Structure 1
Amino acid sequence: MTATPQSQSDTRPVTPLGILTEQLEMLLQQVGTEPPELHDRLYRAWQLAAGLDPYLQTCTSPESADLAVLAQRTAAEAWNQHFSTGTTIRPLEQEMLSGHIEGQALKMFIHMIQARRVLEIGMFTGYSALAMAEALPADGKLIACEVDPYAAAIAQASFQSSPHGVKIQIELGAALETLCRLADAGESFNFVFIDADKREYIAYFQTLLSTNLLPSGGFLAVDNTLLQGQPYLPPEQRSRNGEAIAQFNRLVAEDPRVEQVLLPLRDGLTLIRRI
């Protein structure tokens, strides 16, 4: 007889797989061991779900020491307290960190297309920015947009501790204003990563494509495009962010200027190429 699993994570599930794993675990605890056939089927389903993320971690190249320190620093922050005391200007949480698997994926993308200029919209504490910067050549440049000064300060301190931090330029303020300023200055980028306000995803996308910020042949990666499974669940089960992502996904799928693929990586990562 298989045992009922016990939760092994102190963080709340924020991906479709994490939520599915938690639901299966709760069902196992409610069902108990009787009837045995139902318990065993549920247990095998839980094993498939619960074992995937740890296996991905094992089979993916380890993060750099600098990234590991940054992840630990982010996890140690009292984010709820920071917002309640006004230290941060918006609610932030540890789960906003891109993390090991996604960080290594972004780093691999930069290597694959041999990018030299990268734009990040939504930096948080800088994990994804630093991961991508590690893949840039010595004369490469990454511009990272962040609206929260406290998160940006954590990122800047981490960048100063890394030999790759000199490639990163932080732009503090509203991302749309920064994009317009960069476009007016004639800037363009080989690769853009969006992980910011979900309700502004469409505005970011349209701004990138209506300017030369993302030129023909440029690549765009967009995070959270599965947003806890909400975009493909019934509309009544969606939050405002979930509905915003569902609308964004439809818009991208119907736009003849791009081709794209939505990957079930973490909370969903869409790769877009401007034709």
Structure 2
Amino acid sequence: MLLKLINPKKTIEIGVFTGYSLLLTALAIPDDGKILAIDVDRKTYEIGLPFIKKAGVELKIDYIESQALPVLDKLLEDQKNEGSFEFAFVDADKVNYLNYHERLMKLVKVGGVVIYDNALWGGTVTWPEEEVPEDMRESRLSFLEFNKSIAVDPRIDSSLAAFGDGITICRRIC
């Protein structure tokens, strides 16, 4: 619904995994819309690729197998990319959310929307440190820092939607 309201033609997805959110985005954007999809593991992307092809939206997707930060930095080397994206979805390595955010604030246009998945990190962002499983602690700390930073970022309006594992919806205002 959000994508239909925005009607973006140029989007970016950081962290594709099996392509579920990628497929939903491709179905929601206009026929002439494009998605730059970045993920480190093409094998997982290929799990969902048959469904993307069956839906007839594979031509909307430009897939890049890579870490996202080098791709974002390369995009920013060309000034015409600044403010050229209308929508971004992030569901990648959690420790880099702040790094992604800084780059996306340059790539997404004023009025554009960025969504970050897993903002509640299994609810651990509200737990005492000693109750958080060891393998979730680094990402939990990253989310705590990310959530605090987003809450006071003057470049955006943001809202945390507490369904599923939580998503943070940001609208760039300057």
Gaps of 5+ in 1: 1-107
CA contact (8 A) 1:232 1:246 kept: no
Gaps of 5+ in 2: none
User: Where does residue 127 of structure 1 map in the other structure?
Assistant: 20
Please state which structure has a larger fraction of its residues in helix. 1
CA apart distance, 1:237: 3.2
**Distance in 1, Cα, partners of 2:62 & 2:52:** 10
4+ runs of 1 displaced by more than 4 Å? none
* Bigger radius of gyration among the two: 1
**Distance in 2, Cα, partners of 1:236 & 1:248:** 20
User: Where does residue 60 of structure 2 map in the other structure?
Assistant: 167
Q: Please state if 1:250 is matched with 2:148.
A: yes
User: Where does residue 43 of structure 2 map in the other structure?
Assistant: 150
CA contact (8 A) 1:231 1:246 kept: yes
Q: TM-score, normalised by structure 1?
A: 0.58
Q: TM-score, normalised by structure 2?
A: 0.90
- Percent identity, aligned pairs only, is 36
**Distance in 2, Cα, partners of 1:182 & 1:259:** 24
The amino acid that maps onto 2:86 is N
**Deviations for 1:163-219, whole angstroms, at most 9, x for unmatched residues?**
12211111110011111122224332111000000001011001112x2x1121111
**Distance in 1, Cα, partners of 2:28 & 2:71:** 24
User: Where does residue 114 of structure 2 map in the other structure?
Assistant: 220
1:218 aligned counterpart, secondary structure? strand
**Distance in 1, Cα, partners of 2:164 & 2:56:** 28
The amino acid that maps onto 1:148 is D
1:190 aligned counterpart, secondary structure? strand
**Distance in 1, Cα, partners of 2:5 & 2:101:** 23
1:118 aligned counterpart, secondary structure? strand
Superposed, 1:65-144 pairs within 5 Å as 108-144=1-37
Q: Which has the higher contact order (CA 8 A, sep 6+)?
A: 2
User: Where does residue 237 of structure 1 map in the other structure?
Assistant: 131
Please state which structure has a larger fraction of its residues in strand. 2
